[in-house]
Amino acid sequence: MVNRRVPSVHSKTYVTPRRPYEKARLEQELRIIGDYGLRNKREVWRVKYTLAKIRKAARELLTLDEKDPKRLFEGNALLRRLVRIGVLDESRMKLDYVLGLKIEDFLERRLQTQVFKLGLAKSIHHARVLIRQRHIRYFIKANEVNVLPLPYA
């Protein structure tokens, strides 16, 4: 039997802030970590980076003409993806609304947050423990998901 290795991704999934000791940003990140039960700042930066990539794609598509086939195809794909993960409402399926997304919109869709909001855990930290210890399981296409940063759709 051949043991095949899964190729690993070598691109970074987060970007560190340009100014490491900006007081307002540090306080905001600490509040987000406490509210959503994140483990460290890197988890905040990962979500910010994901949001930045999505907003950048929307900005680039908005510069194109309304009838441009690239804008129609890629814009619709971007909007459908955001609706599928539950970040954007179906009534707000326009690229202008993508620019208004906040980091909290993504953090609200995490499995850990949903477990806490449904009352299955006593605290947001307890929710993380329950998922990690596999007391609460979530399946996507017959695959068990216990990775916390994945959006709960």
Weakest-pLDDT range from 11-15, 117-121, 137-141: 137-141
pLDDT tens sequence across 55-71: 999 999 999 999 999 99
In a domain, 82, yes or no: no
> What is the number of domains present in the chain?
1
Residue 98 burial (10 A CB sphere; 0-12, 13-18, 19+): buried
Q: Which two tokens stand for residue 138?
A: 């979530």
* Confidence band of 140 (pLDDT split at 50, 70, 90): confident
Q: How far apart (Å, rounded) are the C-alpha atoms in residues 61 and 139?
A: 33
Instruction: Report the pLDDT averaged over residues 12-31.
Output: 97
Q: Which residues contact 86 (CB under 8 A, 6 or more apart)?
A: 109, 151, 152, 153
In a domain, 59, yes or no: no
In a domain, 33, yes or no: no
User: What's the pLDDT score for residue 48?
Assistant: 97
In a domain, 45, yes or no: no
In a domain, 129, yes or no: yes
In a domain, 99, yes or no: no
User: What's the pLDDT score for residue 51?
Assistant: 97
Partners of 139 in beta bridges = 144
Q: Is the pLDDT of residue 141 over 80?
A: no
In a domain, 73, yes or no: no
Question: Which of 48, 9, 2, 5 has the alpha carbon at shortest distance from 25?
Answer: 48
In a domain, 149, yes or no: yes
Q: Which domain holds residue 138?
A: 110-153
* Confidence band of 138 (pLDDT split at 50, 70, 90): confident
